[in-house]
Amino acid sequence: MRSCTMPEHEHVDLQLLLQSLGDYAIFMLDPGGRVMSWNSGAERIKGYSADEVTGRHFSIFYPPEDIAAGRPARGLETAAAEGRFEDEGWRVRKDGTRFWANVVITALRDGEGRLRGFGKVTRDMSERRNAERALDERGRLLAHLVQAQEKERRRIAWDVHDDTIQSMVAVGMRLQLLASQLPGDHAEAVLRLNDTVNAAVGRLRNLAFFLHPPGLDSGGLVDTLSGYLEQVVSTAGLTYDFVPDLDEEPPPETAITVFRICQEALTNVRKHAHASSVRVSLASADQGVHVKVGDDGVGFTDPGDGSSRMGHFGLIEMRERAEISGGWWQLHSSPGEGSTVEFWVPAVRPRRS
Amino acid sequence: MSAAPDRLTVLIGDDQPLIREVLTEVLTAEPDLDVVAVAADAREAVRLAVRHLPAVAILDVRMPGGGAWAAREIRRLSPATRVMAFSAYGDSHSVDEMRRVGVREYLLKGLPNSDIVAAVRRTAATS
């Protein structure tokens, strides 16, 4: 890449080659990490045009949690010290969505060994990752726990529905019959008893729904979410917008993950955001489901990965859920401007071995 | 009681013994309703519907064999019978499943007895 020593025609050929490689983002950084050149693959993969990105620091391609952990700088340091640095991880497109990237950073030095910058080659590995990804030990354990928890919740929900609720419904019907055969005073007492039983049936029905919405197992993610918004969000005095734009219903495992994260995010909106409206959007993207839950509430003081608040508000749980299913999760927020939980999960089953 | 011609015959299909029992009593207490058969699963419901040709069949959606299957078979084998769903589940998938096989009335378990009785009469009146 020491283009300064190249004959002119070879330089032109090389430019053509770089421009035509649409599957690879190939670009140069100055020694400080600012973008100096850009090819068509970079534009295609990352979504920025050359004009938009030239001169900007390459950390804009990294997720906030990686920036907070100092990963961009460490990549350059390693490349400068060892000549080369290779990494795999999430990178962020211009529109905020992520792709799984293989990245190689190479230090570019002139004849005297002075660092002139870095060459960076990025490949979009999302598709291969979806197909091949195997969870590490911790991921397997978490996935197993989440699965066991969902199984248990489903079992309890079914028991409540098929046994407890039905028995209590029968008791209520019996009490009404009894009341119709009793004199006034006694009839009233029995009817009050019936009201109590009915109210309990209503509460049990809600409990069973929260434990495991029955529609989730049968391709009903959009219906279930819409029902949840109607039932929980609107009764909390919030208005909502629901924008489902899915090419197809995801498999049950994906549907449960999406629903649980939305449930947690909406609980936060309801309890902590002091918002007046919330917007939930679902879209098919990158062979998965891309979701945003945004409110107009008070916002968080710590945006990005929310690391300083990870212990609160179920943020860890939301992120873990997205990550063990092979996806990503992010919180955008600033004080007074509301919060948006954004995540993506693949609509394929991860391998468990 | 003599079987007056204007009395509505009803079949009940539900796997919950308590529900079968009390629903039978609730309907029998009405002067214009006759419970002619009680089934504990989908196959039995279809068999009894074919034998009794009831005006109305009240079917649990999640009974063994499936309420939707029973509803379709009953409508096929006893076209004059009107089917009504009676379910602990009110989710749209369960409701749609029954609608698709021609069930017009879907009643959530837990409604007052008077609503159930009214729904049976309404179901019988549909053409």
Q: What is the DSSP string of B6-59?
A: TPEEEEEE-S-HHHHHHHHHHHHTSTTEEEEEEESSHHHHHHHHHHH--SEEEE
Tell me the torsion sign for CA atoms A43, A46, A48, A51.
negative
Q: Inter-chain contact B88–A180, Cβ cutoff 8 Å? A: no
Q: Does A144 touch chain B (CB under 8 A)?
A: no
Q: A5 pLDDT band (50/70/90 cuts)?
A: low
Chain A contact probe: residue of B12, B87, B113 with most A CBs at under 10 A: B113
The confidence score (pLDDT) of residue A22 equals 74
In the prediction, which pLDDT does A307 show?
54
Q: Which two tokens stand for residue B92?
A: 């749209």
Cβ distance of B91 and A177 shorter than 8 Å:
no
Q: Does residue A10 carry a pLDDT above 80?
A: no
**Does the pLDDT value for residue A4 go beyond 60?**
no
The residues spanned by each domain of chain B are: 8-125
**What CATH number matches the domain at A3-124, 3.40.50.360, 3.30.450.20, 3.40.630.30, 3.90.650.10?**
3.30.450.20
Does the structure show a pLDDT above 80 at A179?
Answer: yes
Tell me which range, A122-126, A247-251, A347-351, B72-76, is most confidently predicted by mean pLDDT. Answer: B72-76
For residue B123, the one-letter residue type is T
- Put simply, whether A157 touches B (Cβ < 8 Å) is no
Q: Tell me which chain A residue has its CA closest to the CA of residue B26.
A: A177
Of residues A5 and A53, more confidently modeled: A53
Chain B CA closest to residue A162: B88
Q: Do A215 and B21 touch (CB under 8 A)?
A: no
B5-47 pLDDT per residue, tens: 678 999 999 999 999 999 999 999 999 999 999 999 999 999 9
Res. A15: pLDDT tops 90: no
Percent of chain A at pLDDT > 70 equals: 91
The reply to whether residue A215 touches residue B93, judged by beta carbons under 8 angstroms, is yes
Answer yes or no: is pLDDT of A350 > 60.
Answer: no
Q: pLDDT class for A142, splitting at 50, 70, 90?
A: confident
The residue that leads in pLDDT, A309 or A205, is: A205
Q: What kind and span of H or E run contains A186?
A: helix A184-211
B65-88 pLDDT, tens digit each: 999 999 999 999 999 999 999 998
**C-alpha to C-alpha distances, B104 to A60, B46, B74, B114, B123, nearest whole angstrom:** 57, 18, 14, 19, 8
Tell me phi and psi for residue A323, to 5 degrees.
-75, -40
Mean pLDDT of A112-117: 91
Residue A253 predicted with pLDDT over 90: no
pTM: 0.73
Q: Choose the weakest-confidence range: A157-171, A263-277, A299-313, B111-125.
A: A299-313
Residues A185-202, mean pLDDT to the nearest whole number: 93
Is the reported ipTM for this assembly greater than 0.95? no
- State the pLDDT confidence band at A313, using cuts at 50, 70 and 90: low
Question: CA of B27: which chain A residue's CA is closest?
Answer: A177
**CA-to-CA distance for A41 and A19, rounded, in angstroms?**
7
Which residues of A fall within a CB distance of 8 Å from B91? 213-215, 220, 223-224, 227
DSSP state at residue B73 = H
Class of domain B8-125: alpha beta
pLDDT higher than threshold 80 for residue A261: yes
Distance CA B64, CA B41 (A): 5
Q: Are A179 and A194 within 8 A, CB to CB?
A: yes
CATH topology of domain A214-353: Heat Shock Protein 90 (3.30.565)
Dump pLDDT digits (tens) for A76-94: 999 999 999 998 888 999 9
Q: Extract long-range pairs of A229-237: CB within 8 Å, 24+ residues apart.
A: A229/A266, A229/A280, A232/A266, A232/A270, A233/A266, A233/A269, A233/A270, A233/A278, A236/A270
Cα B74 to Cα B67: distance, rounded to the nearest angstrom: 10
How close, in Å, is residue A193 to chain B by CA atoms?
13
